[in-house]
Each structure stands twice: as structure tokens, then as C-alpha cells.
């Protein structure tokens, strides 16, 4: 077909002839790009861009002229856009240019040119017309690299035949570069965005919290992902990946603290660090201690750095769930076998449906098999199977080939363990479904787990109580490290303050609750005093916003390092009530579903200037490191094959740059990037 089209076009191409004026006005927009000439009784159309001559007879139409313009390499870039827009002016397009209308009877200079909003670094508000633009190979290559980074496409896509054909048909002038050149383009974007990130972090007045995660790949390689969490000047919770380091054989556990410290120092944020959150609750305490010793010297801290070491709540929940599932493993296998048997044939399914009606089971849910690596699917399988318990019992009595039947005690165990899992599913949904996961949302949920575990350990059934004791042992290790940080974040929620701590601790600790409550009260006062001292030094010019406490080195002035604290404490009794006391003494804020804690603190910063500084850092602490889509997974974070096959520097560049470039607007199809204007960034 393509050869026939070229033959037809070639047949219409005419040898050089003399030019004459058009005898009459031509109504098609295509004639803005051709001169009509006549020799004897024959009319020709001469392209004003390349001087090629084609048939200009009224019987020939204009389709061949449009086709020529589409492949004419000398015409300006906007011409084709006008032609296509004129041809399809009544159709909606995915990239919608505002107010583009064409009247083929209009003159060339009367056309409304399509508008593209363009955003170069040095002229961000400039709006240019496609009519005055030319094709830019370098900018197009930059846009392709940006697309590859933003959407996680493999670098090798530029070598794919289908991609090359698509690009050439879309824009013949674009030169598809090889994989290696595209990799360099991506690295250029990474370096540019890294400098922006450096500038932003250097100007950040609040401290940052660092989430430490270990990723893996199908090849069993391991990677260290460091993500900064902080609340910015506009009281918005931010999360940015700083490093994605490939851990080779030289990166043993002893080396891990040095790798983390080096990354922090490279970003020059070691003095801004407030807390570290590890994704693994079993992370060696010595690793944390080494980092703590290096980082806590010049940082306001509480209770000898108890706030510094935080563990992911999702990880401890997964550990507890695995204990429960392991205890029920044999029963779960029988349930899987029962479901497989029922689904093995249409006859068996029909028989089971009849039995279900006989025993008056009205469940609207169908039996489902789980995906073993996602424990919420195992919960759903168990919960549904329990609804059909009576039907399975009757099936056992009437079908001699059914060998996976459960005993009554096994059904009871399944019911109890499923009840345990239900609590963890609900809590994990609360955590992963929160769009602004500030640290205050975790305390109440974790306390509920604590109370339930205490209750489950009292079960008269030895199987259930022993399972609960194993679960509680893992929880207690987490609680000992994170309870203070969780409680402080809850106190800084104006809907709860100390009242929530008093409420839950009385249920958890009973007769020793007052001692535990005092520990929390003393801890938050100690942290507040540290911020107050730092604030005083800032006012005196001895420190900058967001900086640490003064150095505790060997300088002679450090002999008076305790004087600042003494002066602050003695001055407190003479001055007005502190931010913290004022905040705690005022009534709690009414609870409602629309409450936004960051907006509340933003509005109340003038009223609590020092406490708000502390609230920004505490509330920005990540209590959860897992992504929502991985919250129920029993496997760790896995890197895809296209990324794991790259060299370490390129891998880090693509992963970090993707995170920095990704914004809600860029990923939302209804945003301005996909609506009436197309906003791009220049090289």
C-alpha cells in the first residue's frame, strides 16, 4: 500500500515550469503553503518550502498536498500542526490546545496559532507560539529522558524498533539516540535536580527524619534506600529519596553505619537530623548506636536520644502476623485444600452450593484462594471459609473423596486467629490509607494492639495463649524503642494532648500507669527545653534556624555549656508560662473527621513559636516506611529487573530523579500538564 501511495505521489510531481499568479482565491488552508501555477491547460502546485511541483488541478483535490507537507523537511514545525488541526477541528484530541479554530477561507495571517506553555529555567512565565518555534532536537531528547525517568521506562526502549517507527512517523526530524546517549541525558537531569535538592535542604529551617530501608532484587542483591521526611515551611509533609546505594560484599553490617553517615554528610544534613527510622525491627542495636554516637552530639534530644531510634510500625505488624499464620499453618493448608476440592469440578461446586442452601448459608461471597505472600488475602480466604463452616462439615459427611476436612477445634482456632488478623488488617488499612501520615496517627492504633495482645495472652486455650505470647514478645521489643516517640507525637495532637496517654496507659500498665505517664511527661518537657535553649541562641545570633545545639567539643567556652540550660530554667520561673505549659493547660480541640493537624499548627505557630518548631520535627518522623501497595506483603521491597541490571550510579540517578520529578500534578491526568496547556521544562 505504501508503495502505491508513493507511485501516485510521484505521478503527480511535475517537471520545472514557469510560475504565474493564482487566477482565483483558493479556499483550502493547504494553499497557504503552495503557489498555484498554470501552463496551457495544466495547473500545478509549487511548495513554497522546497519548490517541489505537484498536481494543482481541482480534480486532484488537496490530500496529496497535505501528504507532501507532512514529509516536507524544509517546512517549519508549526505548519503540520495547523494542517492537522484544520483537518480535525471538530474532533477532541488528547493534547488539547485552547481555542484553536480554522476557517479555510481565512487568510494565512488570520489564523489563531495553537499555544504551548513553555517553562525554561530562566524565563518560566514565557508563553510562546508554535508559529515562531522550530524543532529542537536537544530539547526533545531532554523530554524523552525526562519521560523515561518519570515513568520508570527502561533505557533500552530507545533501541526498540516499534519505538523508533512511532517517533519517526510522529516527527521525522527527531534523531533517535542510542541507549548510551540517553543514559547520559538522564544523568544530566539527575545532576541538575540534585543541585536543586541540595539548595532546598540547605535552606530548610526544620530538621529532617531519615527512613532507612533495605531493598533486594531477584538476583539477591541488596540496596540501601535513604529517604528524608520533613515538614516544610508551608507545613506540608514531604518525602524525598536522597540515596539508593548498592550494597556489595564490602558493605557488611559493620560498614552500614559508615555508609549512612557518609551519605548524610555528602548532603550536608548530618547536623539537621532529628530521627532515624529503620524498616526492620530486628536491626542490630550496635548499628544504631554507632550512628547515634556520631549524630547526637550537636542535636537537641530527649532521654539520651530515645527519639532518635524509631522502627517501622508496618514491620512489627508483619512480624506479629507471621507468628499467627505460622501457628495456624496446618489448619490453613487444610482450608486451602478444601477450597481447591470444591472448585475442582462443576459437579462438586453444584453439590456444595446445594449444601450451602440446605444449611441456610446466605453469604454473598465466593470461596477464594489466597496469595501466600500477601497476608491480607490469607485473612480474606479464612474469613470466607469460616462463613461456609457448616457446609464443609456436611460435605465431609456426604462425600467420601473429601479428605481436607477440619475438626471442630481446628475451626475454633481458625476463628480466633482470623479475629486477630482482622485487627491487623484494619490497622494496616488505617496506616496505608492515610494521605498525610504524620506521626500522631499511630499511637492510638498501636495501643489498641498492645491491649489486645495482653487480653489474648490470657486465653484459657493453650494454643491461642502460646501464640499470643510469641506475638507479644516481638511487640514488646518494638514498644520499648518507640513508645516514647509515639506518645510525644500524640501529645502534640491538640485533640488528645496528655489525655490520650493517660487513657491508654491506665489500661496497659494498671497500677504502674502513673510512673509511665510521668516518664512521657518528663520526656516531652526535656525535649521542649532543648528547643527553648536552641531558640534563645538563635535569637542571640549564636545559632541559625534549623541548626543544632552549640558544639560540645574541647573549646574552653564549653566549660559553661550547662550555663545556657541553667539560665533558661531559672528564667522560666520569672517569665510568662511556657509554650508547652500553655498548650497542655488549654482544653483539647474537638475531634472531627476533617481535622488537619498541619493546618492547625500552621495557624497556631504565632501562639506557640517554640513548641511549633518541635511539633514540626516530631510530627514529621516516619513511623511507617512501607509503601501502601506493599503494606500487606510478606516480602521486602523488590527492585525490578530493568533497574537492577543497571550500573550502580545510573540506578541511583534514575530512582532518585524519578522521586524528585514525581509530583501530584505530573501524575494526575486531569492536571494542567494534560489539559489546555502543555508545560515542559527546558534543558
**pLDDT single digits (tens) 157-173:** 999 999 999 999 988 99
Q: Please, which residues have CB within 8 angstroms of residue 266's CB and are 6 or more apart in sequence?
A: none
Contact 39, 56 (CB under 8 A): no
Question: For residues 22 and 69, what is the distance between their CA atoms, to the nearest angstrom?
Answer: 20
Closest C-alpha to 651, from 152, 76, 42: 152
Query: How remote is the C-alpha of 576 from its chain's centroid?
Result: 44
Mutual orientation of helices 313-327 and 375-387 as an angle, nearest 10°? 40
Share of the chain above pLDDT 90, in %: 52
Closest C-alpha to 487, from 453, 442, 436, 452: 442
Residues 620-630 have pLDDT tens digits of: 999 988 776 67
| pLDDT band, very low/low/confident/very high, at 26 (cuts 50, 70, 90) | low
Share of the chain above pLDDT 70, in %: 75
Q: Please, which residues have CB within 8 angstroms of residue 431's CB and are 6 or more apart in sequence?
A: 313, 314, 437, 441, 442, 445, 624, 631
DSSP per-residue string spanning 397-439: HH-TT---PPPHHHHHHHHHHHHHHHHHHHHHHHHHH-SS--G
Closest C-alpha to 28, from 1, 4, 72, 60: 60
Contact 236, 619 (CB under 8 A): no
Do the strands 637-639 and 208-217 form a parallel or antiparallel pair, or are they unpaired? parallel
Average pLDDT, the chain: 80
What the block records as the C-alpha cell of 132 is 515562531
Question: For residues 313 and 448, what is the distance between their CA atoms, to the nearest angstrom?
Answer: 13
Residues 475-484 have pLDDT tens digits of: 999 999 999 9
Question: For residues 279 and 608, what is the distance between their CA atoms, to the nearest angstrom?
Answer: 33
- Locate all alpha helices (DSSP H) within 492-577, ordered by sequence: 497-509, 513-539, 561-572
Return the pLDDT at 181: 93
Is the pLDDT at 666 greater than 70? The verdict is no
Question: For residues 389 and 298, what is the distance between their CA atoms, to the nearest angstrom?
Answer: 61
3-state percent helix, strand, coil for the chain, nearest multiple of 5? 55, 10, 35
Question: For residues 344 and 258, what is the distance between their CA atoms, to the nearest angstrom?
Answer: 56
268: left (phi over 0), alpha (psi -120 to 50) or beta: left
Return the pLDDT at 78: 43
Question: For residues 624 and 209, what is the distance between their CA atoms, to the nearest angstrom?
Answer: 12
| pLDDT band, very low/low/confident/very high, at 537 (cuts 50, 70, 90) | low
Is the pLDDT at 134 greater than 70? The verdict is yes
Closest C-alpha to 68, from 135, 14, 134: 14
CA distances from 423 to 13, 49, 417, 445 (A): 77, 72, 10, 10
Contact 223, 215 (CB under 8 A): yes
pTM for the complete prediction? Answer: 0.73
Question: For residues 438 and 237, what is the distance between their CA atoms, to the nearest angstrom?
Answer: 8
Mean pLDDT for 491-515 is: 96
Measured torsion, CA atoms of residues 292, 296, 302, 304, in degrees rounded to the nearest 10: 60
| pLDDT band, very low/low/confident/very high, at 104 (cuts 50, 70, 90) | very low
| Beta bridge mates, 388 | none
Return the exposure string of 608-626: e unless at least 16 CB atoms fall within 10 Å of the residue's CB, then b: bebbbbbbbbbbbbbbbbb
Residues 436-445 have pLDDT tens digits of: 899 999 999 9
Contact 218, 283 (CB under 8 A): no
Closest C-alpha to 585, from 458, 461, 676, 498: 498
Residues 175-206 have pLDDT tens digits of: 999 999 999 999 999 999 999 999 999 999 88
| Beta bridge mates, 306 | none
Question: For residues 253 and 212, what is the distance between their CA atoms, to the nearest angstrom?
Answer: 14
What the block records as the C-alpha cell of 25 is 482565491
Q: What is the DSSP letter of 586?
A: S
Query: For the chain, how many residues are written?
Result: 683
Amino acid at each position: 500500500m505504501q508503495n502505491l501511495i508513493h507511485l501516485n505521489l510521484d505521478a503527480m510531481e511535475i517537471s520545472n515550469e514557469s510560475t504565474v499568479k493564482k487566477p482565483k482565491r483558493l479556499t483550502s488552508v493547504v494553499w497557504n503553503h503552495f503557489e498555484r501555477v498554470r501552463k496551457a491547460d495544466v495547473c500545478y502546485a509549487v511548495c513554497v518550502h522546497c519548490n517541489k511541483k505537484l498536481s494543482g488541478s481541482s480534480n486532484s483535490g488537496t490530500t496529496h498536498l497535505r501528504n507532501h507537507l507532512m514529509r516536507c523537511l524544509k517546512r517549519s514545525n508549526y505548519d503540520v500542526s495547523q494542517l492537522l488541526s484544520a483537518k480535525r477541528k471538530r474532533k477532541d484530541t488528547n493534547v488539547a490546545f485552547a481555542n484553536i479554530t480554522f476557517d479555510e477561507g481565512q487568510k494565512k495571517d488570520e489564523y489563531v496559532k495553537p499555544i504551548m506553555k513553555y517553562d525554561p529555567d530562566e524565563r518560566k512565565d514565557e508563553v510562546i507560539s508554535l508559529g515562531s518555534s522550530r524543532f529542537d532536537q536537544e530539547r526533545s531528547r531532554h523530554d524523552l529522558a525526562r519521560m523515561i525517568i518519570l515513568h520508570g521506562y527502561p533505557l533500552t526502549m530507545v533501541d526498540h524498533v516499534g519505538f523508533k517507527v512511532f517517533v519517526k512517523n510522529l516527527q521525522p526530524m527527531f534523531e533517535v539516540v542510542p541507549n548510551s546517549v540517553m543514559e547520559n541525558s538522564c544523568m544530566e537531569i539527575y545532576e541538575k535536580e540534585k543541585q536543586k535538592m541540595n539548595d532546598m535542604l540547605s535552606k530548610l529551617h526544620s530538621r529532617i527524619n531519615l527512613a532507612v530501608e533495605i531493598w533486594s532484587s531477584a538476583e539477591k542483591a541488596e540496596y540501601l534506600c535513604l529517604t528524608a521526611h520533613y515538614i516544610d515551611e508551608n507545613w506540608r509533609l514531604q518525602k524525598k529519596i536522597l540515596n539508593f546505594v548498592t550494597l556489595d560484599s564490602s558493605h557488611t553490617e559493620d560498614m552500614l553505619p559508615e555508609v549512612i553517615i557518609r551519605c548524610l554528610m555528602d548532603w550536608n544534613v548530618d547536623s539537621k537530623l532529628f530521627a532515624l527510622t529503620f524498616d526492620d525491627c530486628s536491626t542490630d542495636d550496635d548499628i544504631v548506636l554507632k550512628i547515634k554516637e556520631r549524630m547526637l552530639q550537636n542535636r537537641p534530644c530527649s532521654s539520651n536520644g530515645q527519639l532518635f531510634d524509631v522502627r517501622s510500625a508496618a514491620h512489627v505488624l508483619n512480624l506479629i502476623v507471621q507468628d499467627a499464620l505460622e501457628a495456624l499453618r496446618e489448619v490453613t493448608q487444610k482450608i486451602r485444600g478444601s477450597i481447591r476440592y470444591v472448585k475442582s469440578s462443576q459437579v462438586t461446586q453444584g453439590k456444595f452450593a446445594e449444601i450451602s442452601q440446605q444449611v441456610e448459608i446466605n453469604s454473598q461471597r465466593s470461596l477464594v484462594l489466597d496469595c501466600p505472600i500477601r497476608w491480607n488475602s490469607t485473612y480474606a480466604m479464612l474469613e470466607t471459609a469460616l462463613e461456609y463452616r457448616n457446609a464443609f462439615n456436611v460435605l465431609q459427611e456426604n462425600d467420601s473423596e473429601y479428605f481436607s476436612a477440619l475438626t471442630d477445634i481446628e475451626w475454633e482456632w481458625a476463628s480466633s486467629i482470623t479475629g486477630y488478623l482482622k485487627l491487623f488488617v484494619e490497622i494496616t488499612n488505617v496506616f496505608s490509607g492515610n494521605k498525610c501520615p504524620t506521626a500522631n496517627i499511630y499511637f492510638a492504633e498501636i495501643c489498641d494492639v498492645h491491649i489486645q495482645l495482653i487480653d489474648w495472652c490470657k486465653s484459657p486455650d493453650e494454643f491461642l495463649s502460646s501464640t499470643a505470647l510469641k506475638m507479644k514478645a516481638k511487640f514488646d521489643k518494638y514498644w520499648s524503642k518507640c513508645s516514647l516517640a509515639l506518645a510525644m507525637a500524640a501529645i502534640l495532637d491538640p485533640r488528645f494532648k496528655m489525655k490520650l496517654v493517660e487513657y491508654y496507659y491506665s489500661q496497659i500498665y494498671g497500677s504502674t500507669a502513673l510512673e509511665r505517664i510521668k516518664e512521657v511527661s518528663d520526656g516531652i518537657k526535656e525535649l521542649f527545653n532543648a528547643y527553648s535553649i536552641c531558640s534563645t541562641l538563635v535569637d542571640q545570633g549564636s545559632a541559625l534556624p534549623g541548626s543544632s545545639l552549640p558544639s560540645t567539643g574541647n573549646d574552653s567556652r564549653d566549660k559553661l555549656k550547662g550555663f545556657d540550660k541553667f539560665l533558661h530554667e531559672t528564667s522560666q520561673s520569672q517569665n510568662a508560662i511556657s509554650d508547652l505549659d500553655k498548650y497542655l493547660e488549654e482544653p483539647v480541640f474537638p475531634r472531627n473527621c476533617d481535622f488537619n493537624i498541619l493546618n492547625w499548627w500552621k495557624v497556631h505557630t504565632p501562639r506557640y513559636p517554640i513548641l511549633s518548631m518541635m511539633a514540626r520535627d516530631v510530627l514529621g518522623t516516619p513511623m511507617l516506611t512501607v509503601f501502601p501497595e506493599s503494606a500487606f506483603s510478606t516480602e521486602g521491597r523488590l527492585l525490578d529487573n530493568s533497574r537492577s541490571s543497571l550500573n550502580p550510579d545510573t540506578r541511583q540517578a534514575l530512582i532518585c530523579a524519578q522521586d524528585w520529578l514525581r509530583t501530584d500534578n505530573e501524575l494526575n491526568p486531569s492536571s494542567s500538564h494534560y489539559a489546555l496547556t502543555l508545560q515542559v521544562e527546558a534543558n
